Copies of this chain bind each other. A is one copy, B any other.
Amino acid sequence: MSRTPHTKTPETAPAGGKAPDPARRSDRSRRAILDAALALVGEVGYNKLTIEAIAARAGVGKQTIYRWWPSKAAVLLDASLALAGDAPTADGRTGLPDTGDLAADLKQVLRATVDEFNDPAYDAPLRALTAAGATDPELAARFTERLLAPQLALYEDRLRSARAVGQLAEGADLRLMTEMLLGPLTYRWLLRTAPLSHAFADALVDAVVATA
């Protein structure tokens, strides 16, 4: 323990002096590791992914990864959170857009989700992780708690705002509506039963908004 409460750790030190900024270097390494993990899981699948391969692809030592994450599942969870944070749907992670027009806002978000699903940079890792979670309940529980449940909550929050201003019926089941938006989209994406398009996203929103 340090007696100096303001002592900075290397990972959080601000820029200063002539040496390369350790905080920035650390951020770059962290980002390289997350990017490598996403790219690799899309290429080889979850089961064959190793910390060694992630380290090699990211250009860091294995110990750098183990310093921050205890397992490949933990790396991938943070990588997925970063991916979700990059996505236009997350909107700075403060909530879904709220222009006052519920259908328009939901269409914007669902169209962006369609674009993600159709983008190989998202599609490949998300497929690999969904496939792994389908048959690995412990992994699935972690992803549901940290990633899916907060996403579902964003939709419920937006629907709650609409209900509060009388755009949805008092008794509208917000959770059910959320699953009616995301379920069919995820179904088409994962099972490839039909092409995912903006038109499909729009039709889905109109149908779901009409239920309440």
Query: Chain A residues in contact with chain B, CB under 8 A?
Result: 45, 47, 127-128, 130-135, 137, 140-141, 144, 148-149, 152, 173, 175-177, 179-180, 182-188, 190-194, 200, 203-204, 207-208, 210-211
Q: How many whole Å from A122's CB to the nearest CB in chain B?
A: 14
CA distance A156 to B211 in the complex (A): 20
Secondary structure call for the A interface: helix
Chain B residues contacting A132 (CB-CB under 8 Å) are 131
CA distance A130 to B189 in the complex (A): 12
CA distance A210 to B203 in the complex (A): 15
A176 close to B140 (CB less than 8 A)? no
Q: How many whole Å from A134's CB to the nearest CB in chain B?
A: 4
B149 close to A191 (CB less than 8 A)? no
A135 close to B141 (CB less than 8 A)? no
Chain B residues contacting A144 (CB-CB under 8 Å) are 191-193
CA distance A152 to B141 in the complex (A): 29
Which listed residue, B127, B184, B210, touches A183 by the CB 8 Å rule?
B184
Interface centre among A45, A141, A173, A180 (most CB of B within 10 A): A180
Chain B residues contacting A191 (CB-CB under 8 Å) are 130, 133, 140, 144, 148, 186
